[in-house]
Structure 1
Amino acid sequence: MFILGYLVIKFGFTNRFGGVSAGAYESLNLGEHVGDDLEKVRQNRDILRQNLGVKKLVFMEQIHSDKVEIFKDENLPPCDGIITNLKDVAICVMVADCMPILVAGKNSVAAVHAGRAGITKKILTKTLNLMAKEFSEFEFEIYVGPFIQGSCYEVNGLDLGEFNIYKNGKNFDMKKALEAEIKALKNYKFNKIEISNTCTHCNSEYFSYRRDGTTGRFCGYIYIS
């Protein structure tokens, strides 16, 4: 929790513990699209909502795009970035190796799903630009939760265009690519940037698609209290 401007903002990242799912999804799986029992997923989401003490959780239908939407207490189209200025509404990004990026401004917050597609399409830049346009945001704090680190993220011979400079042999370093993207954003001020060094592929406290195949999803959440 922190206070930014006149807002009290709370955020965090779940792990795989504290829920009711079983088997490959044990236990706090928050993804409805991975083959888990949907009733158990709904129970897990309600466990999270009650623990946070918010009136509502908002999850995206993530599509590995650069599409960013503003949530205004209505249905949300498929996207990979969500922005809101509503209070007591926790916006969530689900991951199991991708980067869960949380952004706090002075008037709004955002949750961003950034895997290889999101990073190479610069979805964070698009999110910040929309926050600036809609909510006059020019100062930010950025928090990135656990994700697959460059030493484990194999993309083999995949051509990433301008992002090939962030490849080391057959591996792609999303952290270096994101840091370079942020550094290039000269029109904004970043009061804090925290990027996790925890690798989901190596750490069994988190779901990892690359490690396990069939698995659940943990999330990053952020909300205005």
Structure 2
Amino acid sequence: MRAQPRPPRRVLPWILAAAAAIALTVAGGVWITDRWNADGDHAAPMTSDDATATPTFDADPTGCLGGGSRDAAMVLAAQDQAPHTSNGAAEVAAAVLRWMHQYPVPSVDDIDQFEQQLVASSSPYDLASAYADDPNTSGSLVPDGTPFHLSTVPGVWHLESYSDVDAVVTVGAGLVIDGELHPTFRMAKTFTLTWADDGWQFDEASLDRTTEELFAIGTPFTGGC
């Protein structure tokens, strides 16, 4: 945990939109988040040209580090267990994806815990307001008010760039609707993570690849949940 409390969040940088994509010849969906910097410009995403260190490949990402629950405790456990490697970053990204996209949405306490302990100090997110504005994070694949969550069992990941202090990873997962894994619906998101004393921290999320593209080039998780 951080020694100092986070400063009050002053902005609402979660810009929500929805887009349909094709994944493995089927419809897929995304819930896009973007971040604005203090000048009102989009923060530039890292690309493969930004990589300054060779990724360390230890244990292949399982997609289920932290356990099968979908609460903030799961993401914190993944953060605590993830090594300072590219695969560790992929595990945390998968945990954040599973936590972020579900209905009912995370509780206020869970959101506060996530923002206090897992969001990089440079990113003043107001996630609670974003959920209040649009609680359906399925990209319109699931009707409003319908319970759903994500499963990394059919999921994949792709390392976009890596350095000792930053990692950009795109992860994808399948939608579980009313308790059943949908045979075709998939979701993809790119995460920028920053390494800090307490592990990999969430910096921003974006839509850098289509679902179709990710599932064509991505590496399957070894387990998933």
TM-score (normalised: structure 1): 0.31
| Higher Cα radius of gyration | 1
